[in-house]
Amino acid sequence: MTMEVLIVDDDASVREALAQTLEINQLSARVAGSFIEAKDHITPDFPGVILSDIRMPGRDGFYLLDYTRKTDAELPVILLTGEGDIPMAVRAMGQGAFDFLEKPCAPDGLLPVLTRALQTRSLVLENRRLKRQLETGDAAARMLFGTSVLAENLRERVRRVAAMGADVLVTGPPGAGISKVAEVVHLMTPAGRGPYVKHPAAALDAAALDDALASARGGSLFIEEITALPPHAQHALLDRLEEGAETRLIAGTTTDLAKAAEDGRFYPELYYRLDVALVRIPALSERPEDIPVLFRHYVAQAAEQSGIAAPDIAPDHLARLMAQDWPGNARSLMSAAMRFVLGMPDEVTRAADLGLSEQMAQVERSLLIAALGRQNGRASEAAKALKLPRKTFYDKLARYGIKPENYRRGDS
C-alpha cells in the first residue's frame, strides 16, 4: 500500500512547492485547492495523511479537520499556520489535529513531522487489517496454505503456541514466510486485539526498543531477524521481558539461533528465553505437494493486484513447479506467480524443454526430499512411507546427492 500526503491549500504556488518537496524526498503527494476538492479523497482507511492550510476561503482548515475526524478519527491532519495563527493552531491540536507547522515550511521541519504521521497511519491501517482478519475465524487455516502433513503440523503448532501466551521464536529458511507466521501467531493469541508492531532488529538500540515495546503494549512486537539485534539491545530486551513487559515478543530468524548463542553471536540467556515456544516453517522443498495450492493462491493474488484475469494453469506447469528446489521458498514462488500472470518467461517455462526422463527425475527428487522432510530426516521411515526397499531408497538418495541429515529438525 502506497502512503500519500494530501496537500490542501488555496495558494497554487504553495501547494505545488510542497508537492515538489515531498516528491524530491520520495514521498507521494496529491494536491487540492479547497475542502470541496479534497473531500472525495478523505475516506475511512485513506492510506496517508492530510497537510492543510488553516485559512482558506469558504470551508477552512477547521472545517476540514472536523469533517476528517467524523470520517476517520485516526486519520492524521497536520495544519499549516501563518504567523498570527499560532493560538488557532494550538486550539486545533486540542480538537484532534496531529500537529501544526508554521508557514513557510522548511524541509527539515516538515519532513520529520510527515514521516512520524505516515508511520502512525501505517500502523493504524495495519492493525485494522489484522482485526478484520481476526474477526473472520481461524487465522491459521485462512492464512497458512497447504494440504501436506507438514503444512497441517505448522498450523497446529501455531495454534498451540498462540494459546500458550509465551514469547515466540519463529524460524525458517529465507523467504519461507516468517513474517506471515508471526502475524498469524499474533492474530490467534488473546493479544491479537492489541497492536501489532513490526521492527527490523538492526534498527533497535535500547531506546528504540523501549519505544517499540511501548507502542506494542497490550499486543505483540515482532522483531525481524533477531540475530541482528545489537548486543546491548539483546541484554536490554531480556531485562524488559523478565520485568514482565505488557507486550508479547515474537522473534523471527532465518539462522540457527542455538549456534549463534554457542558462537557468542547471540546472548545465550535471551536464546533460552525464546526457545520455549518455537515454530519452525518447513522449506518448500520439504513439501512439494503444497506447491500447486500455493501457486494457485499467488496467481489469484497477483491477478487481482495487476487488474488482469487469472490465466489457466496447466497440470504440466504445476508438475514442473513441483520439481523445482525453490531456494527462495514462498517469496520466489510469489515472484513466479506474478511472472506467470504477466506472461513473462522464467526458469519453469524453460524447463519444458527438458525430456520426459529429466522431468520425471526432478519430480522423483522432490518426492524423496518431501518424504525426508515429513519424517524429520529419518531415512528408514521415509523409505517405508514411500514403500521402497531401503537399498533402493539409499541408491536414489546417492543418485540425487540428497543427505538425510539436512532435513532433521531440532523441534521434533
Cα atoms in the Cβ-side hemisphere of radius 13 Å centred on 361: 11
Residue 401's pLDDT is: 85
* Number of helices and strands in the chain (H, E): 19, 10
- Where residue 222 falls among pLDDT bands split at 50, 70, 90? very high
Q: Is the pLDDT of residue 252 over 70?
A: yes
- Calpha distance 52→302 (Å, rounded): 36
- Where residue 139 falls among pLDDT bands split at 50, 70, 90? confident
Determine contact, residues 154/281, Cβ cutoff 8 Å: yes
Greatest Cα pair distance, the chain, in angstroms, is: 89
Q: Running DSSP on this structure, what letter comes out for residue 43?
A: -
Residue 164's pLDDT is: 86
Beta strands in 164-219 (DSSP E): 168-171, 196-200
Q: Which CATH class is domain 139-281?
A: alpha beta
- Where residue 288 falls among pLDDT bands split at 50, 70, 90? confident
The domain locations on the chain are 4-130, 139-281, 285-407
Fold of 4-130: Rossmann fold (3.40.50)
244 or 169, greater pLDDT:
169
User: Mind listing the pLDDT tens digit for each residue in 169-217?
Assistant: 999 999 999 999 999 999 888 655 689 999 999 989 989 999 999 899 9
The DSSP result for 274-305, as a single string, is HTTEEEEPPPGGG-GGGHHHHHHHHHHHHHHH
Residue 292's pLDDT is: 86
User: Mind listing the pLDDT tens digit for each residue in 31-70?
Assistant: 999 999 999 999 998 999 999 998 898 899 999 999 999 9
Determine contact, residues 254/115, Cβ cutoff 8 Å: no
Are 4-130 and 285-407 in the same CATH fold?
no
Fold of 285-407: Helicase, Ruva Protein; domain 3 (1.10.8)
Determine contact, residues 167/249, Cβ cutoff 8 Å: yes
**Rounded mean pLDDT of 375-400?**
88
Residue 1's pLDDT is: 60
Q: Count of CB atoms within 10 A of residue 77's CB?
A: 26
Element (H, E) at 180: helix 178-188
Residue 39's pLDDT is: 93
Q: Is the pLDDT of residue 411 over 60?
A: no
Residue 135's pLDDT is: 57
- Where residue 272 falls among pLDDT bands split at 50, 70, 90? very high
391 or 361, greater pLDDT:
391
In sequence order, the β-bridge partners of residue 101 are 80
333 or 311, greater pLDDT:
333
Q: Is the pLDDT of residue 322 over 90?
A: no
User: Mind listing the pLDDT tens digit for each residue in 343-376?
Assistant: 876 655 444 455 656 666 767 877 787 788 778 8
Percent with pLDDT over 70 in the chain: 90
User: Mind listing the pLDDT tens digit for each residue in 83-121?
Assistant: 666 777 778 788 889 998 888 888 988 999 998 899 888
3-state helix, strand, coil in the chain (%, to 5): 60, 10, 30
Mean residue pLDDT across the chain: 86
Residue 346's pLDDT is: 65
